[in-house]
Each structure stands twice: as C-alpha cells, then as structure tokens.
Amino acid sequence: MKKLIIINGPNLNLLGKRETNIYGNLSFSDFFERISNKYPNVTLEHYQSNVEGELIDKIQEVGYHYDGIILNAAAYTHTSIGIGDAVKAISTPVIEVHISNTFSREEFRHKSYISPNARGVVLGFGLQSYELAIQSFLD
C-alpha cells in the first residue's frame, strides 16, 4: 500500500471561502474525504500549516520513508528557498501542485523554488490537480 501525504501551505485552510472564483467552493476537508474514499488502496494523509518552518519540519519528517509528497506550498512556492532546499534534501519524490494556473496570473507567481527539485508539476486543474498527482504515484 502506497503511503502518500498532501502538504498544504498558507491560506489553503480557507479553501471553500477564499477567492472562490479562483479556488472553488469546496473545503479541503470535504475534498480530502472524497479522494480518500476514491483511493482506498492508498494510505493518504493531509497536513496544512501557515508557518514556513512547520512545513519544512513536516517535509523532513516524512521525506525519507513515505512513497510520495504532494506539495502545494501556496505563496511560499514563490518565496521560500528553505522549502526548496528541504525538497532537494529528502529522498521521497515530491509532486508540486497548484489549484490555479499560476502562469496565467501575476508575474510573481511564475517563479517556483519547488519546481527544480520536484518530480513533476501539476497546476491549473482546480482541486483535480491533487488527484492527478496521486494518480502519478499509482501503477
């Protein structure tokens, strides 16, 4: 059984009420319940923090024995050398995910400190981006 974790960064705890025109109406907990039921053969966990260092701690904690990390570092994607370094340091593969198409938005969202060390990047498919990332770990 594959062991995967979704790690969400700042403000993603507000999904469902935050800029719903961009991020949709569904809360992450409702979405997480849906995908957990859909992939019963995967051990799927979820962690969210608004704090950069806590995200780094979690990446280090899981990064040597989980089968995959699905990481939406949110705004820290565009600013955090520390999260980028953590992704580089670990052995577990990371898929970078974004709900929105960051390349169709402001220029400051075009830069990612995660992408150079990610196995792949999925963006712009709404919450389905997470699901496509999960599928990439399945045979």
Among 13, 35, 39, 75, binds ligand DQA (CB under 6 A): 75
Active site residue ranges: 23, 98
Measured distance CA(133)–CA(99) in Å, rounded: 12
Least distance between ligand DQA and beta carbon 100 (Å): 3
99 is a site residue for ligand DQA (CB under 6 A): yes
| Whole-angstrom Cα Rg for the chain | 14
Residues 6+ apart with CB under 8 A from 102: 77, 109, 110, 112, 123, 124
Least distance between ligand DQA and beta carbon 82 (Å): 16
The angle at the Cα of 70, spanning 109 to 32, to the nearest 5 degrees, equals 105
Least distance between ligand DQA and beta carbon 85 (Å): 19
In 3D, which of 130, 18, 15, 21 has the Cα closest to residue 71? Answer: 130
Measured distance CA(80)–CA(68) in Å, rounded: 21
Q: Which stretch binds ligand DQA (CB under 6 A): 34-42, 47-55, 59-67, 94-102?
A: 94-102
Give whichever of 4 and 7 is closer to ligand DQA, judged by the CB atom. 7
Interface residue list for ligand DQA (CB under 6 A): 11, 72, 74-75, 77, 98-100, 102, 109
